[in-house]
Amino acid sequence: MTNLTRKILSLDELKYAWLLVLSIVICIATFFIDEHFDPNNQLGLTLSYFSSFLLAAIWGGVNYVGHIRTNSLYKKKNDIHAYVSQLALSRDDKTELQNYLEDFAADLELKGMKKEEAEKEAINQFRAKEFLSMSKYTSPFESHGHHYLIGYALISITLAVVIALIERTIASPSLFFLIMITIFAVYGISLGALFMVYRVLDKLIYKKLKDYFS
């Protein structure tokens, strides 16, 4: 399995799923009422559709914000091993840095510091040096790749196609199948479009932060 495929199949990355599910349920119910019960109640149907789309938009916003993470360099850590392990370095560089920080902390312990305080101070000293040398190239935030949205989009569109093929085998058209095909297709395409929107936002935010910290 390639790295890209693994990212696409990371379906558990989706956050606040209950908001998206609620949006889908309201949309399905409204669609059913519109086609079957009371299509003349335009105000009620409009408000219901609007509520569904509004919830989807809110979910899109909070899901994006939920995936913004603090850059590992800026995270507070008091344990040298835990701090070094989260940095985007090669294994050899991590080993070298960990040995350096441990030696630095050991010297501080000889001067009377407690072990925990010594490790914290060693990390802070290293972080201060890195801020000075890397602040022009390093953003304080990291964004998610959002590839899981492609996974959900592909699943939704696939379900729409499968249901459409099943409907073709049925003699009489079914309102239920029509609703399911439409919902899965619309939300599938929307999730794919949301992936593109997220990537554009990532680039805009990264550029703004890069300009600010440079």
pLDDT tens digits for range 122-131: 877 776 666 4
- Is there a single domain that holds both residue 133 and residue 78? yes
- Is there a single domain that holds both residue 199 and residue 171? yes
Tokens representing residue 163 in the block: 């249901």
Cα atoms found within 13 Å of the Cα of residue 60, Cβ hemisphere only: 19
Of the pLDDT bands very low, low, confident and very high (cuts 50, 70, 90), residue 92 is confident
Instruction: Please count the structural domains in the chain.
Output: 2
Average pLDDT over residues 133-140: 44
Average pLDDT over residues 97-123: 84
- Is there a single domain that holds both residue 101 and residue 122? yes
The count of other CB atoms within 10 Å of the CB of residue 159 is 17
The residues, any chain, with a CB within 8 Å of residue 33's CB and separated by 6 or more, are 39, 41, 45, 48
- Is there a single domain that holds both residue 134 and residue 161? no
pTM, full prediction: 0.65
Q: 171-210 pLDDT, tens per residue?
A: 677 778 888 999 999 999 999 999 999 988 888 877 776 6
List Cα–Cα distances, 21 to 37, 55, 58, 85, 176, in angstroms. 23, 9, 12, 36, 18
Given CA atoms 121, 127, 131, 132 in this order, what sign does their dihedral have? positive
CB contact at 8 A, 87 and 75: no
- Is there a single domain that holds both residue 60 and residue 158? yes
Q: Which domain holds residue 162?
A: 3-70+142-213
